[in-house]
Amino acid sequence: MLLRHPQILGTHRPLVRRQVAVAAVNKGFGAAESKQVAEPAAATAAPAADAAGAAEQASAAASQSKEDEIEALLRRRKNRKGKVEPKVKVESAVVDMATGKTPANAVGEAEGRVLQALAGFFGVLLTEGLLLAGAGFLPAEADSFIQDYLYPSFSPQMLLFLGMSSAYGLWKTGKLPGQQQMK
């Protein structure tokens, strides 16, 4: 659309207003990018009589480019459907044994036992934590037993679990001193 503002600019040259089309491109999981495409509504030398026709052409071109971008996005999305690939490849002897890709070996069996021990230890800590939290609602004998025996040992057990799970994580990632990355 052409506008004339001689009182503001001090000249009689027409101004060109640009329309900006914003297209949001979603790459999945909430990440969105925006592109701004500026299209002129009319040429600077176009007469005022053609301004309405030029504005219609520009809005039609902007809506057409939006539609093209949306169609391209839908085509891309349709092609990706069902092909979700993880960004991190998990290489684990336990996973390979469970899926039947490899037979059981000593490392896999040891890893399985460590995971079972960590899961059991977590269950014990969860139970103790719930007992400590609800000790005030239990009878006086149970409350005194929990305060005398479970309460003093809970924090050291939690630190032991944290240390064991951290050591397992470091072993799996190959970050222990003198250890090479597992393949």
Res 97 pLDDT > 80? no
For residues 141 and 175, which has the higher predicted lDDT (pLDDT)?
141
For residue 21, CA distances in Å to 1, 47, 63 come to 15, 25, 8
- Extract the tokens encoding 48: 């005022």
Res 7 pLDDT > 60? no
| Enclosing H/E stretch for 122 | helix 106-133
pLDDT tens sequence across 8-26 = 555 555 555 555 555 555 5
- Cα-atom radius of gyration of the chain, to the nearest Å? 34
Domain chopping of the chain, boundaries: 2-80, 93-173
For residue 30, CA distances in Å to 36, 82, 143 come to 19, 18, 48
pLDDT tens sequence across 57-88 = 767 677 778 888 888 888 877 776 566 666 66
Q: Tell me, what's the pLDDT at 148?
A: 94
Res 109 pLDDT > 60? yes
**pLDDT > 90: percent of the chain:** 30
Contact between 92 and 78 (Cβ < 8 Å): no
In this prediction, residues 99-120 reach a mean pLDDT of 85
182 torsion bin: left (phi>0), alpha (psi -120 to 50), beta (else): beta
| 2-3 vs 32-40, strand pairing mode | unpaired
